[in-house]
Amino acid sequence: MSVIQSVLNEERLFPPPAELARQANVPGMEAYQALCEEAERDYLGFWARMARENLLWKKPFTQVLDESNPPFYKWFYDGELNASYNCLDRHLETQPDKTAIIFETDDGKVSRITYRELYRYVCRFANALKAYGVKPGDRVLIYMPMSIEVVVAMQACARIGATHSVVFGGFSAKSVHERIVDAGASIVVTADGQLRGGREIPLKPAVDEALSMGGCEAVRNVIVYRRTGSQVAMQAPRDVWWHDVLEGQSDQCEPTWVNAEHPLFILYTSGSTGKPKGIQHSTGGYLLQAVLTMKWVFDSKPSDIFWCTADVGWVTGHSYVAYGPLAVGATQVMFEGVPTYPDAGRFWKLIQDHKVTVFYTAPTAIRSLIKAGPDLPKRYDLSSLRILGTVGEPINPEAWMWYYTTVGNSRCPVVDTWWQTETGGHMISPLPGATTLKPGSCTLPLPGIIADVVDEAGHSVPKGQGGLLVIKKPWPSMLRTLWGDPERFKKAYFPAELGGYYLAGDGASRDQNGYFTIMGRIDDVLNVSGHRLGTMEIESALVANTKLVAEAAVIGRPDEVTGEAIVAFVVTKGPRPTGEEAKRVAEELREWVAKEIGPIAKPKEIRFGDNLPKTRSGKIMRRLLRAIAKNEPITQDISTLENPAILDQLRQAS
């Protein structure tokens, strides 16, 4: 194959702070290498030790890995445990009065709940679910705002062996309907609405609309949490209030012990065409990676105040809100609102007020906060911070540097984590007390994760060249299948030509030190005049023009001459340029990219918008941009789009 060219060259390196390294859970490179060597020497023995030391088992496992039917791997198959027991009960004797969650609402009200209180709340809701006929293996669809209650609902499902499927509160009725039907949910748990940025977003009406679309006959009840107090239609006897179902329920509920392979949850990946993909995760393997990565990547300490800004509708909110922090007994912040309300200092104020020590957010949020006020963090006391993290997409080096210097005051390691809904937890990431950091690179695979960069025939490519990111061996937290679609699972993730490797769907390169850099999705690789270029690198080059550019997205459109032409969508730091000014700025940016990367990477078209089309979770809608670049009609669901008005702006080429 023609290799993907890696064209950015990053030389800046930042070793871990000596003090942090001394006290870290993985203290220094030697400790990291020792773990990797253990996994290399005895792969199954390594994972067995991790599972025994980090999880509580009702029935210990004797078989570590069953690989009799690849790629349908089973881990710790004959062991039994319960995820909720591992998150709550285990702390009742040691730290019952420790704060589990500090919750701040959109309008700034703060409440706290201890591990004992959370345990009792979860038990009451678990008993309520049982009273409504929920049995082990049943699917419960959860469509709720960020709140303590959404964690309670997820944990209660885990407690009784039901499988939850959480739908992000920004999704439309159609998305809810697709997921109810595909999962065969028997109960829906929702709220009247949610508050984001001072606005109420209704939730219950979307559920009503979804249920009216047909095919939802399996749904017996809808449990509604009163969050906003708005009037909503309640259809008796189907619809019941959250507070009513809790009435009279015991605050003790014996956990249902399940097989390690029991489906803990199904999470649908958004953005794919056609039928959504229901990623199915197991209980034992999934929980193990959530615990290990809390300890390794976030260096979890008893005194930490941990804050992951992700919504529980995404896998990040599953692993690093609903399960990981609770399993290690951490105190965490949950936040209902958005980073820019009532002003762009909201994140920094939260860190200051709650003395957050470990902060984990998305590059998109970082870039939008740079645009909103690059010096704003300096007005707040962020001295409590000790570790910063990024998630969701590759972070361009300039945004990384701003995060490191301005937010972390050049003393907090930035853990740039690569993982996916499908992998269950972090796969490639720096360890804050061990890894020398390199802006824009997720650095090295975690112990026990065998990653490589290969060509289309599955052969490793030389260092410095780009190729396909693969995982060569099964790992405990991997997805088990696609719900109800095993063939699609095999085809999508284990293509025959790669000889059994897991295909991540991302392009990547490795430098001479073995550090990985993610170059964007494989389908975001451009072929310009025979050169294969990763879109991420061109985006990083544009954003490196810190004087002009706040944010950029790059896609390709067919071109008669070059095969593909590069189209860049740019948000500038000042007002959006139009007319002659737009042409001038576009030309300046083309020359800039030519200087940064080379003339081959110059965008053919540059289009300016007040912002980029994003879902409410902050993901850039690249498929939408492709349609705009090709002047195609927009057929995809744009109900989750923050600001539809920008679509017309982005149709204008410069």
Q: What is the pLDDT of residue 597?
A: 75
Q: What is the pLDDT of residue 627?
A: 87
Provide the token pair at 318.
Answer: 């599953």
Q: How many other C-beta atoms are found inside a 10 Å radius of the C-beta of residue 100? A: 24
- For residue range 408-460, list pLDDT tens digits in order: 999 999 999 999 999 999 999 999 999 999 999 999 999 999 999 999 889 99
Residue 524 has pLDDT above 80, yes or no: no
Q: What burial class does residue 374 get, using C-beta atoms within 10 Å of its C-beta: 0-12 exposed, 13-18 middle, 19+ buried?
A: middle
Percent of the chain clearing pLDDT 90 (strictly above): 77
**489/211 Cα distance (integer angstroms):** 28
**Highest-confidence segment of 6-10, 88-92, 621-625:** 88-92
In the three-class reduction of DSSP (H, G, I as helix; E, B as strand; rest coil), residue 58 is classed as: coil
**374/543 Cα distance (integer angstroms):** 14
- Stronger pLDDT, 74 or 560, i.e. the higher one: 74
Q: What is the pLDDT of residue 558?
A: 83
Q: What is the pLDDT of residue 6?
A: 61
3-state helix, strand, coil in the chain (%, to 5): 30, 25, 45
- For residue range 224-268, list pLDDT tens digits in order: 999 999 999 999 999 999 999 999 999 999 999 999 999 999 999
β-bridge mates for residue 558, sequence order:
564
Residue 272 has pLDDT above 60, yes or no: no
β-bridge mates for residue 502, sequence order:
471
pTM for this structure?
A: 0.86
Mean pLDDT, range 73-82, rounded to an integer:
98
- Report the chain's C-alpha Rg in angstroms: 24
Q: What is the pLDDT of residue 617?
A: 67
Check: CB of residue 235 under 8 Å from CB of residue 221: no
- φ, ψ for residue 393, nearest 5 deg: -165, 165
Residue 299 has pLDDT above 70, yes or no: yes
Could you tell me whether strands 221-225 and 187-191 are parallel, antiparallel, or unpaired per DSSP bridges? parallel
Residue 511 has pLDDT above 60, yes or no: yes
**301/245 Cα distance (integer angstroms):** 37
Mean pLDDT, range 584-605, rounded to an integer:
88
Mean pLDDT, range 525-552, rounded to an integer:
82
**268/182 Cα distance (integer angstroms):** 10
Q: How many helices (H) and strands (E) does the chain have?
A: 20, 31
**546/89 Cα distance (integer angstroms):** 50
Mean pLDDT, range 288-307, rounded to an integer:
98
Check: CB of residue 115 under 8 Å from CB of residue 92: yes
Residue 383: pLDDT band by 50, 70, 90 thresholds?
Answer: very high
Q: Could you give the C-alpha distances from 634 to 28, 177, 512, 590, 621, in angstroms and in order?
A: 51, 21, 43, 28, 12
Residue 562: pLDDT band by 50, 70, 90 thresholds?
Answer: confident
Range with the lowest mean pLDDT among 36-40, 45-49, 57-61, 543-547? 543-547
Residue 8 has pLDDT above 70, yes or no: no
Mean pLDDT, range 375-400, rounded to an integer:
94
Question: What is the helix (H) or strand (E) element at residue 220, kind and residue range?
Answer: none
**541/122 Cα distance (integer angstroms):** 48
450: left (phi over 0), alpha (psi -120 to 50) or beta: beta
Percent of the chain clearing pLDDT 70 (strictly above): 96
In the three-class reduction of DSSP (H, G, I as helix; E, B as strand; rest coil), residue 88 is classed as: coil
**180/199 Cα distance (integer angstroms):** 26
Provide the token pair at 159.
Answer: 């407690």
Q: What is the pLDDT of residue 650?
A: 87
Nearest to 20 by CA among 363, 387, 294: 387
Q: What is the pLDDT of residue 271?
A: 41
**348/351 Cα distance (integer angstroms):** 5
Within 8 A by CB and 6+ apart from 455, the residues are: 1, 3, 461, 467, 468
**560/538 Cα distance (integer angstroms):** 21
- For residue range 181-226, list pLDDT tens digits in order: 999 999 999 999 999 999 999 999 999 999 999 999 999 999 999 9
- Stronger pLDDT, 276 or 504, i.e. the higher one: 504
Provide the token pair at 632.
Answer: 């195609």
Residue 366: pLDDT band by 50, 70, 90 thresholds?
Answer: very high
Q: What is the pLDDT of residue 262?
A: 98
CA angle 634, 520, 294 (to 5 degrees): 115
Provide the token pair at 45.
Answer: 């023995």
Q: What is the pLDDT of residue 3?
A: 55
578, amino acid identity: T
**467/461 Cα distance (integer angstroms):** 7
Nearest to 269 by CA among 534, 617, 551: 617
Q: What is the pLDDT of residue 36?
A: 98
* Helix spans in 297-417 (H): 315-317, 324-327, 346-354, 363-372, 397-402
Q: What is the pLDDT of residue 115?
A: 98
Q: What is the pLDDT of residue 22?
A: 96
Q: What is the pLDDT of residue 63?
A: 97
Q: What is the pLDDT of residue 273?
A: 42
**Highest-confidence segment of 8-22, 182-196, 271-285:** 182-196
Range with the lowest mean pLDDT among 188-197, 526-535, 616-625? 526-535
What is the average pLDDT score of the chain?
92
Check: CB of residue 438 under 8 Å from CB of residue 10: yes
